[in-house]
Amino acid sequence: MGGITLQDAGYSAGGKVILSGLSLHLEEPRIGIVGRNGSGKTTLLRLIAGLVAPSAGTVRVDGINPFADRKGALSRLGILFQNPEHQILFPTVEEELAFGLRQQGMPQRQALEAARAALAAEGRGHWAKAPVSTLSGGQKHWLCLQAVLLMAPATILLDEPFAGLDLPSIARVSRRLAALPQRLVTISHDTAAVAGADRVIWLEAGRIRTDGPPAEVLPGFTAEMARIGEADADADLAG
């Protein structure tokens, strides 16, 4: 079966249940996942990406187990983390871009050539030898996205893709994402980031609260977040 399928999937860590009883089949071009902080959104993305194994149930991407078959998952899934610092591994731009291609089996020399060609095509050929540490936050975000795109995954998972970006950077990233042919699964607490999606899933306390078109899901989510805010609901200590 194509797309992303979760069957009664759950995830627990440190004795705490984070996700429970999730059954979904995701195949739409643009999918949004919303929820307040701590609802399990990022954990769900990590589960789909195969970065963690489900504690219960199954996760399949185009029929494969992304946790057990990491190489098979590379051509199907890419993930863009909220913080580029959590994604970047190498000291120079070209090495960072080449890493994913090398994971897919491309020889190092060929991977570096592909990285340089991609930079040149974007008018950034002079970045190749630049230390990643010299890039701005927005430039690091661009680098991480470019590294994912070079691997040509069928689906890209986006964790708060506009967090920490200034308005010009948000506009640039928005245009770039909108033009991509890949399926995009975007998690956010910001309804504007997913308002144009084909489908939105509202996650609450690790479970699906509502699943449907944005016009059906987002008004209820917005109203509930406003209610929580007015109730000063963060006064209780976390258990």
Query: What value does the mean pLDDT take over residues 158-162?
Result: 87
pLDDT recorded at residue 89? 86
Taking the model in full, what pTM does it have? 0.88
Average predicted confidence (pLDDT) for the chain: 90
Q: Is-contact 93 105, C-beta < 8 A?
A: no
Query: What value does the mean pLDDT take over residues 72-93?
Result: 87
Q: How far apart are CA 108 and CA 102, in angstroms?
A: 6
pLDDT recorded at residue 206? 94
pLDDT recorded at residue 1? 57
Q: Which residue has the higher pLDDT, 171 or 56?
A: 56
Q: Which residue has the higher pLDDT, 95 or 189?
A: 95
Using the structure block, give the residue that is written with the tokens 């998690």.
187
Query: What value does the mean pLDDT take over residues 115-131?
Result: 93
Strand partners, 171: none
